[in-house]
Amino acid sequence: MGLLDSVLGAVMGGGQQQAAGGGGLASIIGMVASNPQMLQVVTGMLSNDGAHGGLGGLVGKFQQAGMGDAVNSWIGNGQNQAISGDQLSQVLGSGAMGDIAAKLGMSHGDAAGSLAQMLPGLINHLTPNGQAPAGGLGNSGDLMGMLGGLLQKS
């Protein structure tokens, strides 16, 4: 659990300094700082060994729900399209969103809304070249390292 502790330490210790600089990561840092379980949830969503099949699996779910343009905008270099919590719930399914809400200790709507605010910017920052890596974002350990690096740089 040392990697998780170091990532959370970077978020908690540097969050105020980083948030003062503005930028896309400031709101992500604030959300993670206020609910550290959020980092575990998004890692579970985006990692190759997570429940949703990693970034590729998540993209597939968005495409199946008719929202492929939104998730592709987060990966691409253009403007990120916003989604609502209701749209994210539709993509993931109410059962998966209920599980996420329970892990976060939030209502279904609050969890979906928070993730809908966080995911576009986070995925955008994890795909800086405007395309998803062919092998995905890696397993949960790899992804935690990437997130820790992002949070320390911002």
Q: What is the pLDDT of residues 31-45, one digit of tens each?
A: 776 777 888 888 888
pLDDT tens-digit profile of 5-22?
444 444 433 333 333 323
- pLDDT at 97 (0 to 100): 94
Rounded average pLDDT over 66-93? 94
Rounded average pLDDT over 86-105? 94
- CATH number for 116: 1.10.10.690
Nearest to 131, CA basis, from 44, 71, 63, 54? 71
Please provide the DSSP assignment of 36-104 as one string: THHHHHHHHHHSTTSTT-HHHHHHHHHHHTT-HHHHHHHHSSSPPPP--HHHHHHHH-HHHHHHHHHHH
User: Range of 140's domain?
Assistant: 2-153
Q: How many domains does the chain have?
A: 1
- pLDDT > 90: percent of the chain: 39
Instruction: Write the burial class of residue 20 (CB in 10 Å: 0-12 exposed, 13-18 middle, 19+ buried).
Output: exposed
Rounded average pLDDT over 25-36? 71
Report the C-alpha gap between 55 and 150 in whole angstroms: 17
Tokens of 58: 């998540």
Rounded average pLDDT over 88-99? 94
- pLDDT at 150 (0 to 100): 64
Tokens of 5: 């502790």
Tell if the pTM clears 0.85, that is, is over it. no
